[in-house]
């Protein structure tokens, strides 16, 4: 029985170790899709070369470098916000992004057991590890990047009886709020010609809305955008979601180390105990003179 338990323990340990390195060995290669040739078939803006921006640090560094390349007269808050917005809409293609067994198996298992979408990724640095993301995830990257550069940001939520929900972002500069939708990707030139209006201005101007979203069904998009609601200013992911995802993410990478360390500590204590504990039969034995 002891031998079977030891074999089971070693099997679990090896499995946890394999899962912790799977994301680095196989899963990251799979995330390169779609390739440059495949990107041409996507009905959205997507640049596979931006896959190198796989962290918030590299994303912000790239945005900063693009901003620094602008002529001095063109450098202002509006220019930086536009760079971040355009960068996000070209960084991702639209597809549901969740944690996998290879990068957060704990969140993946909990999602399977509970039936809840707790494995849907909301931490910007984790989102940038992939090339795919849905509306809220792309907007979360924009919000986080701009907030780190001192911008005020807020989420914009939508609901449609058929289309479903949608998530975009507004940021504040030059005395007003300005709307960015990196996932559905409205015509950037049309919105720029109107100084990147707020969602309230867009929703109240049917001609502007329809022309900016001319690639979408007219009735669907007008109904969707007219349902807008704002999230709290400067609030990204909720503290509870952040704690859960960070904790399960790092435990998924290190749990095998924790278990191994605990097992080795147990063996060491067991060895020390057997070395220093005398034979009970010798305790209080008569002394031979």
Q: How many whole angstroms separate alpha carbon 135 and alpha carbon 120?
A: 12
| Domain membership of residue 153 as a residue range | 46-252
Q: Is residue 17 part of a domain?
A: no
Region at 279 (left for phi over 0; alpha for psi -120 to 50; beta for the rest):
beta
Q: How many whole angstroms separate alpha carbon 71 and alpha carbon 117?
A: 45
Per the structure, how many domains does the chain have?
1
As a whole number, mean pLDDT of residues 219-242 equals 92
Residues 165-208 pLDDT 10s: 899 999 999 999 999 999 999 999 999 999 999 999 999 999 99
Query: Which of the given ranges, 57-71, 97-111, 225-239, 260-274, has the highest pLDDT on average?
Result: 57-71
Give the model's confidence band at 155: pLDDT under 50 very low, under 70 low, under 90 confident, else very high: very high
Taking the CA atoms of 158, 159, 163 and 165 in sequence, report the sign of the dihedral they define: positive
Q: Is residue 238 part of a domain?
A: yes
Q: Is residue 289 part of a domain?
A: no
Q: Is residue 27 part of a domain?
A: no
Q: Phi first, then psi: what are they for 194, rounded to 5°?
A: -110, 20
In the chain, how long is the greatest CA-to-CA distance? Answer: 112
pLDDT higher at 250 or 144: 144
* Chain CA centroid to CA 228, Å: 23
Q: Is residue 1 part of a domain?
A: no
Burial of 19: CB neighbours in 10 Å, binned 0-12, 13-18, 19+: buried
Give the model's confidence band at 255: pLDDT under 50 very low, under 70 low, under 90 confident, else very high: confident
Q: Which of 3-12, 41-50, 111-120, 233-242 has the lowest mean pLDDT?
A: 3-12
Question: What percent of the chain lies above the pLDDT cut of 90?
Answer: 56
Residues 17-76 pLDDT 10s: 565 555 545 554 444 444 444 444 557 889 999 999 999 999 999 999 999 999 999 999
Give the model's confidence band at 144: pLDDT under 50 very low, under 70 low, under 90 confident, else very high: very high
Tokens of 12: 């679990």
> Can you give the pTM of this predicted structure?
0.78
- Predicted local distance difference test score (pLDDT) of residue 37: 42
**Considering only CA atoms, which of 43, 15, 35 is closest in space to residue 131?**
35
As a whole number, mean pLDDT of residues 68-90 equals 97
| Helix or strand holding residue 2 (H, E) | helix 2-22
Q: Which of 145-149, 188-192, 223-227, 266-270 has the lowest mean pLDDT?
A: 266-270
Q: Is residue 8 part of a domain?
A: no
- Predicted local distance difference test score (pLDDT) of residue 36: 44
- Predicted local distance difference test score (pLDDT) of residue 162: 77
pLDDT higher at 252 or 204: 204
- Predicted local distance difference test score (pLDDT) of residue 33: 45
Counting every residue written for the chain, the total comes to 289
Residues 96-122 pLDDT 10s: 899 888 788 888 889 889 888 888 999
- Predicted local distance difference test score (pLDDT) of residue 222: 94
Q: How many whole angstroms separate alpha carbon 226 and alpha carbon 209?
A: 10
Q: Is residue 242 part of a domain?
A: yes
Q: Is residue 26 part of a domain?
A: no
């Amino acid at each position: 029985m002891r031998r079977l338990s030891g074999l089971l323990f070693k099997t679990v340990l090896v499995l946890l170790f394999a899962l912790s390195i799977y994301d680095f060995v196989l899963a990251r290669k799979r995330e390169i899709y779609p390739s440059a040739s495949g990107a041409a078939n996507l009905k959205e803006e997507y640049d596979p070369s931006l896959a190198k921006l796989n962290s918030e640090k590299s994303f912000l560094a790239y945005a900063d470098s693009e901003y620094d390349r602008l002529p001095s007269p063109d450098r202002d808050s509006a220019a930086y916000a536009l760079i971040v917005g355009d960068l996000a809409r070209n960084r991702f293609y639209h597809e549901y992004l969740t944690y996998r067994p290879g990068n957060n198996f704990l969140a993946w298992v909990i999602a399977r057991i509970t039936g809840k979408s707790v494995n849907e990724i909301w931490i910007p640095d984790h989102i940038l590890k992939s090339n795919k993301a849905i509306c809220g995830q792309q907007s979360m990257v924009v919000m986080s990047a701009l907030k780190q550069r001192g911008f005020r940001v807020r989420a914009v939520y939508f609901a449609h009886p058929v289309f479903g929900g949608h998530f975009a972002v507004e940021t504040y500069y030059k005395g007003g709020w300005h709307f960015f939708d990196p996932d559905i990707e409205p015509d950037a030139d049309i919105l720029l010609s109107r100084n990147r209006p707020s969602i309230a201005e867009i929703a109240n101007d049917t001609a502007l809305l329809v022309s900016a979203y001319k690639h979408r069904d007219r009735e669907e998009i007008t109904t969707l955008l007219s349902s807008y609601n704002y999230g709290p200013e400067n609030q990204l992911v909720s503290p509870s979601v952040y704690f859960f995802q960070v904790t399960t993410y790092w435990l998924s990478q290190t749990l095998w180390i924790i278990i191994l360390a605990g097992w080795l500590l147990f063996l060491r204590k067991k060895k020390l105990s057997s070395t220093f504990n005398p034979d009970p039969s010798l305790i209080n034995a008569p002394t031979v003179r």
